[in-house]
Amino acid sequence: MKILVLRFSSIGDIVLTTPVVRALAQQVPSAEVHFATKPGYRGLLEPNPYVTKVHCLTGSLGELVEQLKAERFDYIIDLHNNLRTRLIKLRLGVKSSSFDKLNWQKWLLVNFKINKLPDVHIVQRYLAAAAPLGVKDDGQGLDYFIPPAQEVALKTLPQSFQRGYAAVAIGAQHATKRLPLEKLVELCQRLAPRPIMLLGGPEDAPVAEAIIAAVAQAKDHSPIHPSTHPPIENGCGRYSLHQSASLLRQAAFVVSHDTGLMHIAAAFGKEIFSVWGNTVPEFGMYPYRTDFQVLEVKGLSCRPCSKIGFAKCPQGHFKCMREQVLDLNTRP
């Protein structure tokens, strides 16, 4: 059976589709699982042994549709469910099922703070879209496959990191999902004296350098013994996504915003401190099937202010991040 899975973005969302892909490949007789996405996410899918072929939206939607028509699919599972994927389904004209985005429930929670969302992780909603093909949750969690050439050898890190380190994912697509600089500095100080690997994209590198400089300045003006100040490495933009995943896998634990690296860490079963700002775990995208602790400011009448995020706090105070306690004292 030839099956097409649709999900065009983003990193975290695509990682969250991996239980569906695995279940299709393992549970549907003679399944051939294809995946359509954007070119930037091809590298996430090609190492996945459960994906037969990746199709990318490199030109117009019409060009992609013609490419997909040639494959003669038996079934489509739409895990994006937007206008573009609906057009693809319409033009391919084969049987399909889609995941429920629960848009009106999210709208009620964002605009009126009325929570009608089911207490169900988004992965379970993805799996429900594949249920017509008879697949069931195998209980194995998320997958992430690192090409061997992209593994980061522990011996290449500074010696202090070879004995263990905390990985801190400082980025997020929207500013209201990220801790401000002063809170990131506080977080690193709280992690002392454990070594810290800061992870993110090239756009996060200047923030990482500012964190390192601020922690060093505090060290120079502090009467505290220098050994209590953590060694910090800036891995933002220095490592590829797969290399960053390798560093997450080898970390003692992970601190992350609501972002793609959090879901990659969950795929490796890492213990996660999950920091939430303008979004909330009730949206169903908290770390999946791994030990985690949610760090959030409860009781704010303005939260959640969006199902995605903003470039700046709509209220101007940014209390959802500036008032974070960042209690990591449960770590040994």
Please check whether residue 305 lies inside any domain of the structure.
Answer: yes
Tell me the per-residue pLDDT of 172-191, one tens digit each, with 9 for 90 and over. 999 999 999 999 999 999 99
Do 160 and 278 belong to one domain? yes
CATH number for the domain harbouring residue 34: 3.40.50.2000
Preceding amide of 193 cis, omega within 30: yes
Please check whether residue 140 lies inside any domain of the structure.
Answer: no
Do 265 and 317 belong to one domain? yes
**Residue 329 binned pLDDT confidence (cut-offs 50, 70, 90):** low
What is the rounded end-to-end Cα distance, in angstroms, of the chain?
50
Please check whether residue 211 lies inside any domain of the structure.
Answer: yes
With a cut of 90, say whether residue 235 has pLDDT above it.
yes
What pLDDT is attached to residue 34?
Answer: 98
Average pLDDT over residues 248-272: 98
CA distance 37 to 137: 23
Average pLDDT over residues 24-47: 98
pTM: 0.95
Q: Which domain holds residue 267?
A: 148-322
Residue with tokens 């099956």: 3
What pLDDT is attached to residue 219?
Answer: 67
With a cut of 50, say whether residue 270 has pLDDT above it.
yes
What pLDDT is attached to residue 265?
Answer: 98
Please check whether residue 33 lies inside any domain of the structure.
Answer: yes
Tell me the per-residue pLDDT of 54-103, one tens digit each, with 9 for 90 and over. 999 999 999 999 999 999 999 999 999 999 999 999 999 999 999 999 99
Do 273 and 198 belong to one domain? yes
Do 102 and 157 belong to one domain? no
Are 207 and 184 a contacting pair, CB within 8 Å? yes
Do 164 and 270 belong to one domain? yes
**Domain edge (last residue) among 100, 133, 166:** 133
The residue that leads in pLDDT, 183 or 224, is: 183
Q: How many CA atoms, within 13 angstroms, populate the side-chain half-sphere of residue 13? A: 18
Are 11 and 32 a contacting pair, CB within 8 Å? no
With a cut of 50, say whether residue 227 has pLDDT above it.
no
Tell which residue, 217, 218, 223, 178, has the closest CA to residue 198.
178
Q: How many CA atoms, within 13 angstroms, populate the side-chain half-sphere of residue 29? A: 0
* Total of domains in the chain: 2
Average pLDDT over residues 121-143: 98
CA distance 244 to 288: 19
Do 76 and 125 belong to one domain? yes
Are 291 and 272 a contacting pair, CB within 8 Å? yes
Do 168 and 128 belong to one domain? no
With a cut of 50, say whether residue 332 has pLDDT above it.
no
- Look over the chain and give the mean of its residue pLDDT values, rounded to a whole number: 95
What pLDDT is attached to residue 217?
Answer: 86
With a cut of 50, say whether residue 225 has pLDDT above it.
no
Please check whether residue 199 lies inside any domain of the structure.
Answer: yes
What pLDDT is attached to residue 220?
Answer: 57
**Residue 229 binned pLDDT confidence (cut-offs 50, 70, 90):** low
With a cut of 90, say whether residue 286 has pLDDT above it.
yes
Cβ-based neighbours of 88, under 8 Å, separated by 6 or more: 6, 36, 61, 64, 65, 68, 76
What pLDDT is attached to residue 197?
Answer: 98
Do 211 and 248 belong to one domain? yes
With a cut of 80, say whether residue 45 has pLDDT above it.
yes
CA distance 128 to 102: 13
Q: CB neighbours (10 Å) of residue 11? A: 18
Average pLDDT over residues 43-48: 98
